[in-house]
Amino acid sequence: MIRRSDPYWAGLASDLTIEQTLMRILKSIGGMTRGKGMKEVQRAQLLLSMPVCVAINSLMQALTDTEYISSEQHKECSKTRQERDTKIGIQFLDERKPFAAVNTLRNIETGVTSTDDVNAHQAHEIGSAIINELKCQNVMDVSLKKGRQVVTLKTHSVLQAGNQILPVSPQLLFQRLLVVATSQADDMGNAFNHELCPVPASLFDNTGCMREAQKATLAEALWCFGDCVANPESDETMVYILDGGSLLHKIPWPRGYTFKGICQLYVDYVHKRYGFPSIVFEGYMDGPSTKDFTHQHRSKGIMGMTILFTQGTPFRSKKDYYLANSVNKQNFINLLVASLQTIGCEVVHAAADADVTIVKTAVEWATRKEATLIGEDTDLLVLLCYHAVLEDNDIVFRSDRHVGLT
């Protein structure tokens, strides 16, 4: 950028600077392009006379104490705009707290944190190192390496599985080694006397991940039993127990809403449909759990970036990408739990997998009054069959999409 004056935002690109100096003088009244043809002679005279004309014009302005300037017209310089921006800035700092202690680079507007390879803060040092390498080199011999470029937060704003370290498929590796062995081993017949499978195929698929249980088949069979349909009366004696994991995926997140506004959507939904229920959430910060493979299948390999946020931070990502990151999910659950407790909901936060805790909470409530468990997971029904006590009140297992089962 080139500056011809001192006011803020006065920087100009090089082509605009040429238009305001060399070309302005030659195109104004009395200039070379007014009322004259542009043959080869005129073009040569134009090019050769521009530096001289500019120098003479500058000297004449200095001699006559005349200067061509423009008034301060930028809207950001007005007093009203400055007062408004100051008020918005103070409110932003109070709500977002963007300078909280973090060890990585962070977008103070969206809360997105950087990965270890983001080096935008070292752009000057990287650029200077590249320029020093280019000195005294033939331009045809220059080869710029992609690994030397500056990596910004925007580079990683599109969340994808490409940044994830994917495991090697033991099945594929085993098959390729077997092909190589056919030309190297002396007696391949002995190899076929043993199990030629690196992992049990009944439990693991070709990628090395555990196979998903076909629970949908059991669930559909249960829904078809008409004699187990229950229609409990909804009165003051009824208490609802909600699966928090299913609740998280029930409501869409509008882009641009603050996290406080998203929590309010859940609060309104729960209170309108269930009054003051008991809600059980899973925990995601206590290390490996029995549901890690299930979470990987659900996220389809997506690894969302960690986002640090407050109640006033706007939601700028996609819900699936955001919840694919366990840190993001746990932080949002903590915020949602606080919002639900303010209206009187009883919230239970499990250490890891919440299925057993959900069922035990429903069984415990059934000792006092009739209970309805709201969930979509077939595991909950299986666990209810094991933990339910016949002497207690009825426990109704109900989905938002189906009628209840007792």
In the prediction, which pLDDT does 267 show?
93
Quote the mean pLDDT of the chain: 75
pLDDT in tens, 27-36: 666 666 665 5
Sheet containing 278-281, strands listed edge to edge, beginning at the edge strand earlier in sequence: 229-230, 404-405, 395-398, 371-374, 239-243, 278-281, 346-349
- Residue 248: phi and psi, rounded to 5, are -60, -40
pLDDT in tens, 220-279: 776 676 555 566 555 566 889 999 888 888 889 998 899 999 999 999 999 988 888 999
The Cα 169–Cα 209 span in angstroms is 9
Domain boundary among 23, 48, 63: 63
Q: Are 274 and 189 in contact (CB under 8 A)?
A: no
User: Is residue 161 situated within a structural domain?
Assistant: no
User: Is residue 242 situated within a structural domain?
Assistant: yes
Total number of domains in the chain: 2
pTM across the whole model: 0.56
User: Is residue 93 situated within a structural domain?
Assistant: no
Q: For the residues 382-400, what does the mean pLDDT come to?
A: 79
Question: At 241, which helix (H) or strand (E)?
Answer: strand 239-243
User: Is residue 227 situated within a structural domain?
Assistant: yes
Provide, rounded to the nearest whole percent, the portion of the chain with pLDDT above 70.
Answer: 66
User: Is residue 7 situated within a structural domain?
Assistant: yes
> Residue 349's domain is classified under what CATH number?
3.40.50
Please report where in the chains the tokens 């990287």 appear, as a residue: 126
Burial 345-364 (b: 16+ CB within 10 A, else e): bebbbbebbbbbbbbebbbe
Alpha helix stretches (DSSP H) within 249-377: 259-274, 292-299, 319-323, 326-342, 355-366
Domain boundary among 45, 63, 81: 63
Higher pLDDT, 69 or 202: 202
The Cα 121–Cα 134 span in angstroms is 22
221 is in which domain, residue-wise? Answer: 215-405
Q: Is pLDDT at 58 greater than 50 in this prediction? A: yes
Q: Are 275 and 240 in contact (CB under 8 A)?
A: yes
Query: What is the CB-side half-sphere exposure of residue 354 using CA atoms within 13 A?
Result: 22
Domain boundary among 18, 38, 63: 63
3-state secondary structure of 168: coil
User: Is residue 334 situated within a structural domain?
Assistant: yes
User: Is residue 239 situated within a structural domain?
Assistant: yes
